[in-house]
């Protein structure tokens, strides 16, 4: 079958003929109809995660999909051929830039009935990230205040909607031209990062979702109330993450050192920092489907390209997309 792979880290993504997926007893074979492009795909291509996610090369990239069930393993009970589904496969089984992929039953969900395959493909990774940050880690409650950075991006545009659904007052950083659009998504306060300093304008926030890292993350600690929490999805990884994925003691020590500075800054301010590397979850996607079909969340697709142009789609993402997700489609 046709897929898009990297042979070595930092080299361009390219088309290749690859073997058909092997279907395990608890796996579902999905005919991929659409796949979205994520910053994670580019970071994997560049080798930024090769120490903690040691993939075997050549590697099929791709972390999101929407498609149709083609076959199921002998122990699969929740899905049947013909079902329309979507998923973010487990981190050890990525490869959605392909005609077909075998996905663990536990990582899969029926796609929202109210959206297209293209729209559904834009959701899994970013919606799971937003859910795990705001619901699981943040426990966001009505009346709390949440700052979401890069509100026009893939994660940000979904996180704004989810935070608003949870009853929070939502602030976000964007370029000025996107201010009206993110307010339509549910943002209450918009900060133009090119002309305004969010750390001077915002105070006593309960939660910050940071997708930028570096100085932006450090400044984010200043807007939190005592006991508040900053969740970073661009790093640096923290010791809890190292334990969670079972890294060896040497790598765990190295990761602790990488995040030591920001964790110390957080402690001095009486706030908390956590790193989030989202995990696959079909159960959470099922809850997200319910919210989409109820109108509480809507996918944001910024650009659509044909499947054959997947390398160009990845390059387009690296150059920046004004709003939402880039999706490649076989429809």
Question: Domain of 265?
Answer: 125-275
Long-range contacts of the stretch 38-46 (C-beta < 8 A, 24+) = 38/63, 38/64, 38/125, 38/126, 38/154, 38/317, 38/325, 39/154, 39/317, 40/125, 41/314, 41/317, 42/314, 42/317, 42/318, 44/94, 45/6, 45/9, 45/10, 45/11, 45/13, 45/314, 46/9, 46/10
Instruction: Tell me if 284 is assigned to some domain.
Output: no
Task: Check whether residue 260 and residue 312 sit in a common domain.
Answer: no
- Distance, in Å, from the CA atom of 34 to the CA atom of 13, rounded to the nearest integer, reads 17
Task: Check whether residue 57 and residue 34 sit in a common domain.
Answer: yes
User: Is residue 173 within 8 Å of 191, Cβ to Cβ?
Assistant: yes
Task: Check whether residue 115 and residue 132 sit in a common domain.
Answer: no
Task: Check whether residue 227 and residue 144 sit in a common domain.
Answer: yes
Task: Check whether residue 60 and residue 151 sit in a common domain.
Answer: no
Instruction: Tell me if 290 is assigned to some domain.
Output: no
Task: Check whether residue 139 and residue 251 sit in a common domain.
Answer: yes
- Distance, in Å, from the CA atom of 238 to the CA atom of 232, rounded to the nearest integer, reads 10
Q: pLDDT tens track of the chain, all 331 residues? A: 999 999 999 999 999 999 999 999 999 999 999 999 999 999 999 999 888 888 999 999 999 999 999 999 999 999 999 999 999 999 999 999 999 999 999 999 999 999 999 999 999 999 999 999 999 999 999 999 999 999 999 999 999 999 999 999 999 999 888 999 999 999 999 999 999 999 999 999 999 999 999 999 999 999 999 999 999 998 899 888 888 888 888 888 888 898 999 999 999 999 999 999 999 999 999 999 999 999 999 999 999 999 999 999 999 887 776 688 999 999 7
Task: Check whether residue 176 and residue 98 sit in a common domain.
Answer: no
Instruction: Tell me if 282 is assigned to some domain.
Output: no
Give the phi and the psi of residue 232 in degrees, each rounded to 5: -105, 130
| Predicted local confidence at residue 231, as pLDDT | 98
Task: Check whether residue 211 and residue 152 sit in a common domain.
Answer: yes
| Predicted local confidence at residue 321, as pLDDT | 66
CATH assignment at residue 45: 3.90.180.10
Instruction: Tell me if 293 is assigned to some domain.
Output: no
Q: How many domains does the chain have?
A: 2
Task: Check whether residue 249 and residue 315 sit in a common domain.
Answer: no
Instruction: Tell me if 287 is assigned to some domain.
Output: no
Task: Check whether residue 200 and residue 245 sit in a common domain.
Answer: yes
Instruction: Tell me if 168 is assigned to some domain.
Output: yes
Number of Cβ within 10 Å of residue 12's Cβ equals 11
Distance of CA 148 to the CA centre of its chain: 14
User: Is residue 86 within 8 Å of 35, Cβ to Cβ?
Assistant: no
Instruction: Tell me if 131 is assigned to some domain.
Output: yes
CATH assignment at residue 204: 3.40.50.720
Task: Check whether residue 40 and residue 173 sit in a common domain.
Answer: no
- The helix (H) or strand (E) run that includes residue 171 is strand 169-174
Task: Check whether residue 116 and residue 140 sit in a common domain.
Answer: no
**What pairs with residue 110 in β-bridges?**
85
Instruction: Tell me if 184 is assigned to some domain.
Output: yes
């Amino acid at each position: 079958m046709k897929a898009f792979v990297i042979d070595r880290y930092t080299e361009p993504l390219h088309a290749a003929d690859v073997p058909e997926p092997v279907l395990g007893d608890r796996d579902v074979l999905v005919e991929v109809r659409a796949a979205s492009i994520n910053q994670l795909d580019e970071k994997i291509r560049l080798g930024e995660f090769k120490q903690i996610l040691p993939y075997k090369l050549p590697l099929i990239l791709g972390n999101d999909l929407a498609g149709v069930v083609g076959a199921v393993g002998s122990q699969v009970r929740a899905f049947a051929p013909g079902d329309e589904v979507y998923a973010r496969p487990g981190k050890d089984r990525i490869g959605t830039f392909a005609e077909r992929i075998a996905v663990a039953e536990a990582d899969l969900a029926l796609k929202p009935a109210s959206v297209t395959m293209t729209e559904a493909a834009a959701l899994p990774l970013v919606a799971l990230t937003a859910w795990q940050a705001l619901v699981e880690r943040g426990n966001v409650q009505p009346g709390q205040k949440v700052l979401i950075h890069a509100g026009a991006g893939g994660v940000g545009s979904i996180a704004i909607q989810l935070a608003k659904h949870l009853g929070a007052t939502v602030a976000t950083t964007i370029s000025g031209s996107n201010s009206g659009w993110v307010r339509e998504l549910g943002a209450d306060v918009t900060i133009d990062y090119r002309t305004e300093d969010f750390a001077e304008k915002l105070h006593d926030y309960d939660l910050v979702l940071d997708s930028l890292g570096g100085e932006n993350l450090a400044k984010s600690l200043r807007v939190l109330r005592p006991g508040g929490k900053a969740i970073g999805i661009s790093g640096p990884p923290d010791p809890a993450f190292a334990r969670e994925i079972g890294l060896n003691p040497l790598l765990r020590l190295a990761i602790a050192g990488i995040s030591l500075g920001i964790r110390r800054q957080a402690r001095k301010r009486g706030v908390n920092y956590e790193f989030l590397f989202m995990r696959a979850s079909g159960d959470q996607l099922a809850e997200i489907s319910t919210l989409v079909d109820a109108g509480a969340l809507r996918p944001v697709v910024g650009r659509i390209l044909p499947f054959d142009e997947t390398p160009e789609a990845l390059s387009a993402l690296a150059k920046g997309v004004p709003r939402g997700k880039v999706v490649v489609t076989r429809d």
